[in-house]
Structure 1
Amino acid sequence: MTTLYFDSQHPDPQRRANIMKGDIYVFSPRPSICNLIAFARQMADEAFAPHDPCEAQHHLPPEQFAEILGKLKPQFMHHPQVKDFLRAMLEDFGADPQETYFDVPRMRTMTHGDYLRTGIALAVPPHRDTWFAGHQSQLNWWFPMKGVQPNNTMVLHPGYFSRGVENISGRYNHNDWLANARSAAVQHVKKDTRNLPEITQDIDHGSDIVIQCEEGGLILFSASHLHSTSPNTSGHTRFSVDFRTVNIEDVISGNAAPNVDNQAVGTTLGEYMQAGDLTPIPEEVVAAQ
């Protein structure tokens, strides 16, 4: 059974332990999140000017929209100030900066209808982030940035947290992805031909949870949760931000969510940096996974 915690005051160790069991945490907007979102929104507004980013799809061809995202998303991801925002946010949530490691944040977009659903704006069907070589102890931090509504948000499928599904995650190799596929995202406007892990069965949607939090609110959950993006029928593009964390003691000790069906090759841990001083995870820790 999955428990939803709203604005919980649990200390980080207890929160992580509950998340590893499949529980989900939801938080109201708070300054540490809103500061990052304001920065991201400014970047998006400048990139799509003179159009509102949420309405730009109604004024631009998909190829031009993808080209803008192809520049905007890496600029946001690698901006040095963004790391400062993340550090402040993690400290605000009580994460130990010496033990907590994060990867760079991603700005996500989900356009209305079938305008752009591949490549740089990929609409991923039900999946676990572990299928993309995420560590079993990985936590996902997701927060809406602009234009979120119940008909264009994220859906979790908690009934499958401890229940495997048929999938082809075994064809995903993270080293190959880094070398050949990630940088080609902007080229896939009409159809995505990259070697992505996929679910290969229909699922029961009786346990679905659609969490509608305000802009600046946060959903925190395990990378092992099956989740997807609801079809966007809102009439405009949704923007959101997400990033991932691991606690190095969890990684070393094996404190992690159960692996019920993940067969991905490789690990994303080599891309993580310490919240305290931005040093990478020790190579020997990565090599042991």
Structure 2
Amino acid sequence: MPTQLDTPLTDGSRGPRLFSGEVLVFRQVPAARSLVALAQRRLRACFPEVEEVATAQHALSEETFLRRVVGLTADWRKDAEVAEAFTDLLTGLGCDPNETYVDDFYLRTQPSRLGRRHRRTRPLHAHRDTWGSNLMAQVNWWLPVTPLTAERTLAVFPRYWQQPIANDSADWDWEELKTARRRARADGQDPDAAYPTLPQPLEPVDQEDAVRLLPEVGDIVAFSAAHLHASVPNASGLTRFSLETRTLWSGDLDAGRGAPNLDGRAPRVPREWFRRLSDGTSLAEAWGYPA
């Protein structure tokens, strides 16, 4: 299913392919290799006890491993060097920094078998990102930090590109999520249990045509946020580390272009998730909405 490319695409040529359901793999991108090298340095500093960071979960107690992962994840999102490396990657792939709005930059950790109840490490159930964002022009970018296997990766479900699936997006509200988590923290309760992180399907997902993505380290995958996708539950014995972000191009937004919305019913459009790559202006501000 994925189409492999050795050259970047302009914003105007990339969107139509993704919004028709294509999954693109940009192969061995120099800026992707630089970003991965940065992530590997941060991981080695986080887990100095091991030579291979994918084995760190076996060298530490589960509590210690998860505590370090949560701290590293939080630091990664605030790291100026990370933001610069991601900016170099996206602009090198053809994203215009003055017309591209970007979500946070994430370092994801999925251990083998453990950590499945923690928001930062549990496998993500099948979902469309657009169930939460309501932005059909959203593009997802994903790349591995450590080698993948079919038991340790991300799966896309092409059947559902044209087939709706029952889900609870109509009852999922970003403002309610934030309020519920604030209240839980104030009450000394677990904020992760206060409200669902993502909308979810209300019927079983047919796994027959699932495509397990296997880009090499140094590759980066782009796909429409409207694709149904999920973490493959990791039972490989090694931790999966990966990087991701999401973008919107103003040309698509202005023209009303995007993927089809088959079944998303969320009540809000959280434009504040996205900021202009060049100067940090929020999409909400750029479009004249309250921040």
TM-score normalised over the length of structure 1: 0.89
| Aligned ranges 1:196-275 → 2 under 5 Å | 196=197, 197-275=199-277
Distance 1:183 1:24 in 2: 39
Distance 1:126 1:263 in 2: 16
**Residue matched to 1:281:** 283
| Aligned ranges 1:146-185 → 2 under 5 Å | 146-181=146-181
**Residue matched to 2:13:** 14
**Residue matched to 1:143:** 143
Q: Percent identity?
A: 27
Deviation per CA, 1:92-131: give whole Å up to 9, x if none. Answer: 1111121111111111111112443531212111111112
Distance 2:2 2:152 in 1: 21
Kept in 2: contact 1:135–1:267 (CA 8 A)? yes
One-letter code of the match for 1:50?
E
Shift of 1:271: 2.5
How large is the RMSD of aligned CA atoms in angstroms?
2.5
One-letter code of the match for 1:195?
P
Deviation per CA, 1:186-218: give whole Å up to 9, x if none. Answer: x869x8553242112112223211121111211
SS at match of 1:177: helix
Distance 1:183 1:31 in 2: 44
TM-aligned CA distance change 1:181 to 1:131, over 3 Å: farther
Shift of 1:184: 7.8
Structure 2 unaligned residues grouped into runs of 5+: none
Kept in 2: contact 1:111–1:117 (CA 8 A)? no
Deviates more, 1:129-138 or 1:149-158: 129-138
Kept in 2: contact 1:101–1:245 (CA 8 A)? yes
One-letter code of the match for 1:273?
R
**Residue matched to 2:130:** 130
One-letter code of the match for 1:42?
R
Deviation per CA, 1:149-198: give whole Å up to 9, x if none. Answer: 2210110001101211011122221123334439989x869x85532421
Kept in 2: contact 1:101–1:275 (CA 8 A)? yes
Distance 1:241 1:278 in 2: 20
Structure 1 unaligned residues grouped into runs of 5+: none
